[in-house]
Amino acid sequence: MKIIMLGAPGAGKGTQAKMIAEKYSIPHVSTGDIFRANIKNGTELGMEAKRYMDEGQLVPDELTVKILLDRVAQDDCKNGYVLDGFPRTIPQAQVLDEALTKLGESVDYAIDVNVPDENIVKRMGGRRACVTCGATYHIEHVPPKKEGVCDKCGSELILRDDDKPETVKKRLSVYHAQTQPLIEYYTNKGILKTVDGTVDMMDVFASIVEILG
């Protein structure tokens, strides 16, 4: 079972990907994690990616797909995997499809965790992070015992720049321009499934389990 997770930043697709991975005993494959692992281990592909990153450039799609295929060729992926953070654009999806076709494989499901922009701006604007230990809270859903203070270490909680409304709106506009066309791409392939991401996290997961069977 090969699954691609789609959804705007803050829609909760990473959380759902982890839960799917656990339930179906397949790896949660995050492109960010693979890059970091390859760079840390000094692999040839990792060093090539690092050269682009050090120059502040995006890693080319072909190289990203190579690193990804290298990861999904490992034994733990033989029963499938959940891809999180890739593809982000139509060209990336096409390169991935071509590479999988050569292996006689294909993606089974593209799951879109659908959340309206205003919900995401509100959701991310409510996040708070500890400046010392990195623990995260949400002023509505997971509030600290004392406002503005971390339960774990007593340090100050802050709204990260990434979660500020103006930053979130910018990230959403990039998402709509680059990643949203994938919704149509996977719809045309007949593998797109959409779930309502505004409901409780466990209800979102129940909808996904219903799709996957």
CATH at residue 51: 3.40.50.300
Residue 183 belongs to domain spanning = 2-115+173-212
pLDDT tens digit string along 188-208?
999 999 999 999 999 999 999
Of residues 122, 164, 171, 193, which has the active-site annotation? 171
Please identify which residue in the block is written with the tokens 């029963």.
Answer: 79
Q: Among residues 44, 51, 107, which one has the least CA distance to residue 70?
A: 44
Flag whether 34 is in a domain. Answer: yes
Flag whether 21 is in a domain. Answer: yes
pLDDT tens digit string along 64-76?
989 999 999 999 9
Flag whether 206 is in a domain. Answer: yes
pLDDT at 32 over 90: no
- Angle 158-164-165 from CA coordinates, rounded to 5°: 150
| Structure tokens belonging to residue 14 | 């990473």
Of residues 71, 88, 123, 128, which has the active-site annotation? 88
pLDDT tens digit string along 111-137?
999 999 999 999 999 999 999 998 999
How far is residue 19's CA from residue 15's CA, in Å, rounded to a whole number? 6
Flag whether 123 is in a domain. Answer: no
Question: What share of the chain in percent tops pLDDT 90?
Answer: 76
Rama region for 80: left / alpha / beta (φ>0; ψ in -120 to 50; rest): left
**With contact defined as beta carbons under 8 Å apart, do 131 and 155 qualify?**
yes
Please identify which residue in the block is written with the tokens 């879109």.
Answer: 112
User: Is 122 a catalytic site residue?
Assistant: no
E-state strands within 34-126: 81-84, 109-114
Question: What share of the chain in percent tops pLDDT 70?
Answer: 100
**pLDDT of the residue at 162:** 86
List the beta bridge partners of residue 157: 130
User: Is 152 a catalytic site residue?
Assistant: no
Flag whether 167 is in a domain. Answer: no
Flag whether 168 is in a domain. Answer: no
Start-to-end CA span in the chain (Å): 11
Please identify which residue in the block is written with the tokens 């992926």.
Answer: 77
**pLDDT of the residue at 61:** 87
Instruction: Provide the pairing of β-strand 28-30 with 127-130.
Output: unpaired
Flag whether 6 is in a domain. Answer: yes
User: Is 171 a catalytic site residue?
Assistant: yes
Q: How many domains does the chain have?
A: 1
pLDDT at 56 over 90: no
Residue type at 105? E
Flag whether 144 is in a domain. Answer: no
User: Is 36 a catalytic site residue?
Assistant: no
pLDDT at 55 over 90: no
Average pLDDT over residues 102-108: 93
User: Is 13 a catalytic site residue?
Assistant: yes
> How many CB atoms neighbour CB 25 within 10 A?
9
